[in-house]
Each structure stands twice: as structure tokens, then as C-alpha cells.
Amino acid sequence: MSSVAKPSDAATPVVSAFYDRFPYPGDPLQDGPPPGYNWRWCVDTAYASCTGAVLPKRPNEDQLRILDAGCGTGVSTDYLAHLNPGAEILGVDISPGTLEVARERLQRSGGHDQAQVRLENRSLLELDGEQPFDYINSVGVLHHLRQPVAGLKALASLLKPGALLHLFLYADGGRWEIHRCQRALTLMGVGMDDQGLKLGRQLFADLPESNRLRRNHEQRWAIDCAADANFADMYLHPQETSYTLASLFEFVAAADLEFVGFSNPQMWDPARLLKGDLLERARQLPQRQQWQLVEDLDPDISHFEFFLSKGLLPQYEWDDDTTLLAASGRRSCCLWGWPGAALFDYDMAPMHLSEDSLAFLHALEDAPQGTSLGKLPLGWESTRIASLARDLQRQQVLLLSPGSAPST
């Protein structure tokens, strides 16, 4: 059942009108499946990244229920449909204009053939009556509410215990230049229409080439802002909140949710920035202080992307051969180039599978579903199977389902 979005958040009417004018994201439509993949939108891969194993099947539940809260023009919804075949997906957005684009995108891509997709003009604050979800995706949405905490609490209420919520929020430090441009355009009375778009682009043409704001835009954001909708979303948006690491954790705590981890963990590894004695000192810090160190040392971090859960998630460890060999597995769908040996991995980085890895994965695919790793017809010693499986699991090539209860 579809209903017209009501102004449940103070910013809703103006934000809805803004996105009707500039449907976002401005990714082009295509015939056929979306290009590549994003592992964060594959429920099994996301859950395995957070816990070490795929989401356990719940009794009497055959279909995954996924919410795309603030789906915009349907880019994320399209990937969710293709990466989670058979799922029941609800995509909601407050902008009727963006939803028209989303409907065309899903129709042309074949997304409706992959999953049961509903696209509805509703606010994420007004989803009373919906059954809880196994996975909620809300990318670039809550920071456009006047009351983001209310939005997070609303999503938390729709999350099944043990399920994942994936969020993307603006980071304050890496948007320093963007905030200055936004304030300058507002001060000059630049509006949120086509004329405002023209004047916004003119700003970067008029500023001296040596100007820090112009250089930041040209070096970091010009390609992303090639589409008018993307430029408007960055520089002309009427409502925006950004966060520091400290205020982010306060935000999460306000909704009584658990921070599971960043969905771009490499960004938060001090080894990306330090080496030698300084890296050793950084490694001795508690985890959150390591993240704080990265935030302090890298002023270009412009967003936070992360997973939350309602309650602590189980953690699956695979160091014990017996436990590992009792598990069943499947190949990740986020591998570009399979069944070849030369692939792009879950993060679209090049990787090469060894002959043993190829043999293992082919045996896995040929075996009946649920076959334990130790019973794959490879003719290998169990230690060899376990060692290879452990390496593939760490690379997120192999997704595991435990054969017994996990540790917590």
C-alpha cells in the first residue's frame, strides 16, 4: 500500500521539493543489471564481514526482508535486488520525483525479476505497521533530517534482533571546504533552483586557481559532481548535519544500538598513515583511540560508513580445524570475473586464485547445498582443506555457515 509522505520531520517538505528538482543520486539508467557490486548491499557478505558467518536462517522464514530507507533514485535498491535474489525489499523516499526515476531504473535493470521490490512515497519516520527487517540500508539520509536521532530511533524500531543496519553519514573534518562554500552561496542568496546551480558552478570558475576551495573541488569532487543533481546535493542542499567521531558515537548511543564496525575498515587502520615506531605506539592504543588518531591525522575523511545492530552479534571463529571443517560454505557473489582465476575481489581490487583455490571453489559449487567443508570430494588431507578454507574466508571469497553454535 502506498501513501503520500507527510512532513514528519521539520525539514521534510523543503528536502522533498529539493530532490524533486534534483533527483539524487544522478547515476545514469541502464538496461540490464547494475555495473559491478557493492558488498555492503549483499546481506550475506555484510553479515559475514561483521560476524565471520552468514546470517543464520530463522525458523519459518524463507525470505530476507530488506529496507532501503531513503532510496532516492533507486541505485542502492537496484543493487540490493540483484545481490539478494528472492528477498522482499521495501524502498521508501519522501520525494515522488526521485521515486519515478527509481521505478524506471528497477524496471530497466530487471531488478523486479530478482526480488520482490516495493517502492513507496513514505518517510522512514512513518513506517508503523511494517514487520521488522533482516537488513536496513540508509545511505546519506539521516544527516538530512532536522532531527537525525529521531530517524535513527525509527530505524532501530524496525530492526530484528541480531540484524544489521548500514549507515552513511557526513564527517565534519573532510567537509570543511564544502561547508564554507555552502555558507558563502547562502550568504549571497544563491537559491536551490537551476539558477542556483548555475551560480554554484560559476563560483568555482571565478575563484582564483590557487584558492583552496577551488582546488579542493577540482581535485576531489569535480568528477563526482559532474551530474547536476550530485553538485546540487553537495553544495545547495537545504538541510545537512555532519559528525565528528565523538558525536557519531553519541548519536549511536542515543538509539541504544551497538556499533559493529566501519564498512570501510581500511580507512581506519593507522597503518594507512603511520609506520615504524609511531605505528607501534598507535597499535597499543584502545580501538576507539586508534580511530580517533586516524580522524585527527586525516582531514580528508568526509564521511562515516558503518554497521549497527540491535544487541550484540554472535562472533564466529575459525581457528579450530574441527569447527571449520564442520561448517558449510558458499562462494561470495561479490567476485568479478568468476569462474576465472583472475578476479576483482569484494572491494574491486585485483586478485588471483591459486589452482587449489579454484579446485576448492568448484568442488563447493558442485556439492549439494549444506555439505560440510570436510566432506567435499577433493581427496585432500583435512588440514589442507582447513588451511585453504581459512585463507579464502579471510579474503571474503568464502562465506561460512557454522555447523554448531558460535562463541559469543
Rounded CA separation 229/201 (Å): 12
Q: How far apart are the first and last CA of the chain?
A: 40
- Is residue 260 a part of any domain in this protein? yes
The answer on 101 and 35 residing in a single domain is yes
- Is residue 1 a part of any domain in this protein? no
- Is residue 267 a part of any domain in this protein? yes
Distant-in-sequence contacts of 369-373, Cβ < 8 A, 24+ apart: 369/328, 370/328, 370/401, 371/328, 372/325, 372/326, 372/327, 372/328, 372/403, 373/324, 373/325, 373/326, 373/327, 373/328, 373/329
Is the confidence at residue 7, as pLDDT, over 80? no
The answer on 334 and 294 residing in a single domain is no
* Nearest one of 112, 190, 127 to 157, comparing CA atoms: 127
pLDDT of residue 58: 72
How confident is the model over 319-329, as a mean pLDDT?
97
Q: Which of 309, 330, 365 is the last residue of a domain?
A: 309
Which residues have C-beta within 8 Å of that of residue 293, sequence separation ≥ 6? 270, 282, 285
Q: Which three cell numbers stand for residue 126?
A: 512513518
Q: Which of 263, 287, 309 is the last residue of a domain?
A: 309
Instruction: List residues bridging with 89 in a β-sheet.
Output: 66, 117
pLDDT classification of 8: cutoffs 50, 70, 90: confident
The answer on 302 and 291 residing in a single domain is yes
- Tens of pLDDT along 80-107? 999 999 999 999 999 999 999 999 999 9
The answer on 256 and 163 residing in a single domain is yes
* Structural domain of 198: 173-235
- Is residue 406 a part of any domain in this protein? no
Instruction: Return the CA Rg of the chain.
Output: 23
Q: Which of 256, 281, 309 is the last residue of a domain?
A: 309
The answer on 160 and 80 residing in a single domain is yes
pLDDT of residue 57: 79
Identify whether the C-beta of residue 363 lies closer than 8 Å to the C-beta of residue 329: no
Which residues have C-beta within 8 Å of that of residue 323, sequence separation ≥ 6? 317, 402, 403, 404
- Tens of pLDDT along 234-290? 999 999 999 999 999 999 999 999 999 999 999 999 999 999 999 999 999 999 999
Rounded CA separation 311/316 (Å): 16
Residue with cell 564498512: 263
- Is residue 314 a part of any domain in this protein? no
The answer on 136 and 51 residing in a single domain is yes
The answer on 291 and 247 residing in a single domain is yes
